């Protein structure tokens, strides 16, 4: 964690989608029930009068084999000044991220499969979002405007539509702003 965020909500989500599992002592039956049929619509995520910015508007941290969050729509939100990526769903399929306005965040939209590669994901749509300007960290770097990451060949992300998004040309350290990381096929 960069030192400038040591006392902030570094990975805090304003809306957290996680499995009701053994590591989540705060909620659920601890049976790995995923989130499903969620619509996050028309919210504003920014600093408040008493707290600094959130880490992200909506994201998650948990994954187990064979269990995925599904049918999540993140639409028409205004996301400003997040410490990390504005919208970062994890282990989520049948996902639509549409018509969000993102400014002053360190990164834009970042959809990730599980780091451990336990679940392939399908049907991800990222359309009509406006990203930027982005806020650089203390090293002067920003992340991507729109990015997707699959970490193993066993858990790719398929059926992807990315269309009609705008983002600054400088995003992700001067590289192309739209990043798709799929593992090479054998």
- The 10s digit of each residue's pLDDT in 29-54 is 788 889 999 999 999 999 877 777 88
Once rounded to an integer, what is the mean pLDDT over residues 119-136?
93
Tell me the CA distances in angstroms from 132 to 35, 38, 114, 115, 168, one per residue in order: 29, 26, 27, 27, 6
What count of Cα atoms within 13 Å lies in the side-chain half-sphere of residue 94?
10
Once rounded to an integer, what is the mean pLDDT over residues 71-88?
95
Q: What is the mean pLDDT of the chain?
A: 82
> Do 134 and 113 meet the contact criterion of CB atoms below 8 Å apart?
no
Cα first-last separation, the chain: 35
Band of pLDDT at residue 27, cut at 50, 70 and 90 = low
Q: Residue 72 pLDDT > 80, yes or no? A: yes
> Do 106 and 133 meet the contact criterion of CB atoms below 8 Å apart?
no
Share of the chain above pLDDT 70, in %: 81
Per-residue pLDDT, 28? 63
Q: Is the preceding peptide bond at 133 cis, omega within 30 degrees of 0? A: yes
- What letter does residue 21 receive in the DSSP assignment? -
Highest-scoring range by mean pLDDT, 18-22, 36-40, 108-112? 36-40
- The 10s digit of each residue's pLDDT in 151-183 is 888 888 889 999 999 987 765 543 333 444 444
Contacts of residue 48, defined as CB under 8 A and 6 or more positions apart, other chains included, come to none
């Amino acid at each position: 964690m960069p030192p400038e965020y040591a006392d902030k909500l570094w990975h805090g989500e304003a809306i957290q989608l996680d499995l009701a599992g053994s590591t989540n002592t705060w909620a659920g039956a601890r049976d790995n029930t995923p989130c499903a049929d969620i619509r996050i619509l028309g919210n504003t995520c920014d600093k408040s009068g008493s707290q600094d910015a959130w880490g992200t508007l909506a994201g998650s941290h948990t994954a187990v084999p064979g269990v995925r969050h599904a049918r999540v729509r993140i639409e028409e939100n205004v996301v400003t000044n997040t410490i990390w990526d504005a919208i970062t769903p994890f282990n989520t399929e049948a996902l639509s991220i549409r018509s969000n306005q993102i400014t002053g965040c360190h990164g834009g939209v970042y959809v990730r499969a599980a780091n451990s590669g336990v679940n392939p994901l399908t049907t991800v749509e990222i359309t009509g979002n406006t990203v930027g300007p982005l806020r650089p960290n203390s090293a002067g770097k920003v992340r991507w405007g729109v990015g997707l990451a699959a970490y193993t060949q066993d858990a790719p992300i398929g059926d992807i539509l990315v269309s009609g998004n705008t983002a600054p040309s400088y995003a992700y350290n001067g590289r192309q702003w739209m990043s798709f990381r799929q593992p090479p096929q054998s």
